């Protein structure tokens, strides 16, 4: 097949370690191990899409089997082994797709095939792409061969989801995490490819491609390919053309929109948004760019133009810096919360365009509020936040006593909740003064789930006026803090501070009951009555004890 007919991502696929960009540490480590003849039984390459996992696997296969050795690895005039590996048809280098060959039978066939030595090459190599798709049984079948393979057999695994691979497999491999390609390095690479293809594209257009690709070389090449094919041969790909092709809009429009929001000009704000929408920009893309710009407004003083990942040019950077001088940080943080909430609303609203317009109107009225503290009460209070940790098995990540704007109160929690006055709980006034009274209130209100969480998964540290400090175990429901805050506000008509601490608190209510029961049983076993019974019935044991009124403890 003519190389010129290939898409750019395949045409410029690296063939040697020298062609790889952004993976210098990986290249140096692997090259040194091959030169020192200390090749591991298995390699494991992980990273985001398009950074070179499968490509690196093929280059490793070439380096191990090249007739000229790694020191003189074929570049232009390829040996027969390198040609066959490049074309994926070498008899001793088997490429397997883990997504389609997931079963234990497929792995058994692989192991059976591995019993025979290489035919023409030095090593027999199995490359398994998307290895995380293999079944649990398939991984188990592979373990023994992976740990002690024949000297001629090497495994190379590639995956985007390292967490799905059993730790027993990961520990048997030499793992390499391929990094995202840095923006400047990717920019220079794409610029060279553009020149080789005789394309005409401005630096700003290439910077937009780099931004959208998010560090993926394959994505960047695919975007460049698409852009060059869209325009006529002699026409330059400028920023405006690239934005139209990729569905992105000029950041200066969004900056102007921000300024008008801060000035409270509703009509002008809606006109600018409608212009952006008419350019074909999806509401979700608009909201994500809005969040990105909010970040720049809040942190512009601590950033430099090179640190914005090509998202801003010099003029936009300067304008944001100028506008941010007159904007309160509290407003920006509050805007962030409203924007995140709107992003969630887009999933349930049929006409997303109208939802964005109402969102912008809300921001204008929010900015013009005379007393921001009415929206964010208790702005100086110290609370801790709870968030899902996607990088570990823990449910939550705890940050002790960080400042936030009045807890922002979830917005959802701001539903008009009118607590009933003078409501009684078991004949007592509606007063939650201690942990036990909180449990009693949950029983009275039939909040069984909340009571269960409090009794089984919460360790109390302190309980005082409208402030509860707790620690918790890994079984605590992720919505516990939101639910508890909402119910406390509903029952008391007051806002409560919930502090999550790393300090180990008291045992849970359930643990106290279990310990108390154990202690009671131990006391009974020490009694003379139990000892006398034990003499007559040696197999007797105590499983439960109930106290009876007007009875002595040892009776």
Average pLDDT of the residues of the chain: 80
CATH for 3-177, options being 3.40.50.300, 3.40.1280.10, 3.90.1150.10, 3.40.50.720: 3.40.50.300
Q: What is the mean pLDDT of residues 194-213?
A: 88
Q: What is the pLDDT of residue 307?
A: 61
Q: Which position has the higher pLDDT, 419 or 249?
A: 249
Q: Which CATH number fits domain 183-246: 1.10.8.60, 1.20.140.10, 3.20.20.150, 3.30.70.2750?
A: 1.10.8.60
CATH 1.10.8.60 in the chain, residues?
183-246
- Helices and strands (H and E) in the chain: how many: 22, 12
pLDDT score for 426: 45
Task: Cite the DSSP H helix spans in 66-182.
Answer: 80-86, 104-114, 136-147, 167-170
Among 48, 33, 429, 3, residue whose Cα is nearest residue 196: 3
Mean pLDDT to the nearest integer, 532-545: 71
Nearest in space to 171 (alpha carbons), one of 330, 72, 40: 40
Which of 32-46, 213-227, 314-328, 520-534 is predicted least confidently?
A: 520-534
Q: Which residue has the tokens 């920023």?
A: 239
7 or 379, higher pLDDT:
7
107, 93, 113: which is closest to 143 by C-alpha?
Answer: 107
Q: Pick the residue with more confidence: 271 or 554? A: 271
Question: Parallel, antiparallel, or unpaired: how do β-strands 42-46 and 174-177 relate?
Answer: parallel
DSSP H/E element including 8:
helix 8-11
Name the least confident of 155-169, 445-459, 540-554. Answer: 540-554
**pLDDT computed for residue 308 by the predictor:** 64
Q: Answer whether residue 249 shows pLDDT above 60.
A: yes
What's the mean pLDDT in 147-172?
A: 91
- Residue range 126-144: average pLDDT? 90
User: What pLDDT, on the 0 to 100 scale, is given for residue 331?
Assistant: 86
pLDDT bin (cut points 50, 70, 90) of residue 397 is very low
User: How large a percentage of the chain has pLDDT more than 90?
Assistant: 17
Confidence of residue 555 (pLDDT cuts 50, 70, 90): very low
Q: What's the whole-number mean pLDDT along residues 12-23? A: 89
Listed in order, the ranges of the chain carrying CATH 1.20.272.10 are 281-372
The structure tokens listed for 147 are: 């740990």
Tell me the two tokens of residue 268.
């002008």
DSSP label at 500?
Answer: E
Note the CATH architecture for domain 281-372.
Up-down Bundle (1.20)
Q: Distance between the two ends of the chain, CA-based, in angstroms?
A: 96
Distance of CA 227 to the CA centre of its chain: 30
CA-based nearest residue to 330, from 296, 266, 293, 380: 380
% residues pLDDT > 70 (the chain): 83
> Cβ(28)–Cβ(17) under 8 Å?
no
The string of pLDDT tens digits covering residues 29-84 is 999 998 888 999 999 999 999 999 999 999 999 889 888 877 777 777 788 888 88
Numbered ranges of CATH 3.40.50.300 in the chain: 3-177
Tell me, what's the pLDDT at 270? 92
Summarised one tens digit per residue, pLDDT across range 312-371 is 777 788 888 888 888 888 888 888 988 998 888 888 888 888 889 999 998 888 866 544
Task: Give residue-wise pLDDT tens across range 165-190.
Answer: 999 999 999 999 998 898 889 999 99
Inform me whether the pLDDT recorded for 387 exceeds 60.
no
Whether 413 contacts 482, CB under 8 Å: yes
pLDDT at residue 81, as a whole number: 87
pLDDT in tens, 490-519: 888 888 888 888 777 788 877 777 888 777
In whole angstroms, give the CA distance from residue 62 to residue 31: 12
pLDDT of residue 424: 43
Model confidence at 451: pLDDT above 70:
yes
């Amino acid at each position: 097949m003519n190389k010129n007919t290939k898409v750019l991502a395949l045409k410029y696929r690296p063939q040697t370690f020298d062609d790889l960009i952004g993976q210098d540490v990986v290249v140096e480590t692997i090259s040194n191990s091959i030169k020192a003849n200390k090749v591991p039984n298995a390699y494991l390459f992980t990273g985001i899409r398009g950074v070179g996992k499968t490509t690196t696997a093929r280059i490793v296969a070439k380096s191990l089997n090249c007739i000229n050795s790694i020191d003189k690895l074929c570049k232009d005039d390829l040996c027969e082994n390198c040609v066959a590996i490049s074309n994926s048809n070498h008899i001793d280098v088997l490429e397997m797709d883990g997504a389609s060959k997931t079963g234990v039978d497929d792995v058994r066939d692989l192991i059976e095939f591995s019993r025979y030595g290489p035919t023409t090459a030095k090593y027999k190599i199995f490359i398994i792409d998307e290895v995380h798709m293999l079944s649990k049984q398939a991984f188990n079948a592979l373990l023994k061969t992976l740990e002690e393979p024949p000297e001629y057999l090497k495994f190379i695994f590639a995956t985007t989801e390292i967490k799905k691979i059993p730790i027993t497999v990961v520990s048997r491999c030499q793992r390499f995490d391929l990094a995202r390609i840095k923006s400047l390095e990717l920019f220079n690479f794409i610029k060279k490819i553009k020149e080789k293809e005789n394309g005409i594209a401005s630096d700003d257009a290439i910077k937009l491609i780099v931004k959208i690709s998010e560090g993926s070389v394959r994505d960047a090449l695919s975007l460049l390919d698409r852009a060059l094919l869209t325009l006529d041969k002699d026409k330059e790909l400028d920023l405006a053309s690239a934005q139209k092709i990729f569905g992105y809009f000029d950041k200066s429009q969004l900056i102007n929109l921000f300024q008008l929001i801060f000035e409270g000009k509703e009509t002008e704000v809606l006109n600018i948004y409608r212009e952006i929408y008419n350019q074909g920009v999806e509401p979700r893309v608009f909201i994500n760019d809005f969040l990105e710009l909010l970040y720049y407004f809040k942190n512009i003083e601590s950033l430099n133009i090179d640190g914005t990942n090509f998202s801003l040019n010099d003029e936009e950077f300067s304008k944001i810096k100028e506008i941010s001088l007159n904007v309160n940080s509290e407003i920006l943080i509050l805007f962030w919360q409203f924007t995140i909430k709107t992003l969630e609303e887009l999933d349930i609203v049929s006409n997303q365009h109208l939802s964005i317009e109402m969102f912008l109107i809300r921001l204008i009225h929010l900015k013009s509020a005379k007393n921001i503290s009415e929206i964010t009460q208790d702005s100086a209070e110290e609370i801790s936040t709870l968030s899902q940790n996607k990088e570990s098995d823990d449910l939550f990540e705890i940050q002790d006593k960080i400042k936030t704007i009045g807890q922002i109160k979830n917005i959802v929690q701001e539903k008009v909740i009118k607590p009933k006055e003078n409501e009684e709980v078991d004949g007592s006034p509606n007063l939650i003064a201690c942990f036990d009274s909180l449990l009693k209130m949950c029983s009275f209100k039939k909040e069984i789930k909340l009571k269960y969480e409090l009794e089984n998964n919460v360790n109390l540290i302190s309980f005082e006026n409208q402030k509860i400090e707790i620690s918790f175990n890994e079984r605590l429901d992720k919505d516990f803090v939101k639910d508890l805050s909402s119910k406390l506000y509903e029952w008391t008509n007051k806002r409560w501070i919930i502090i999550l601490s790393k300090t180990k608190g008291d045992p849970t209510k359930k643990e106290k009951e279990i310990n108390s029961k154990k202690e009671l049983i131990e006391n009974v076993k020490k009694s003379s009555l139990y000892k006398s019974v034990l003499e007559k019935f040696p197999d007797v044991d105590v499983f439960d004890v109930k106290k009876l009124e007007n009875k002595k403890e040892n009776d």
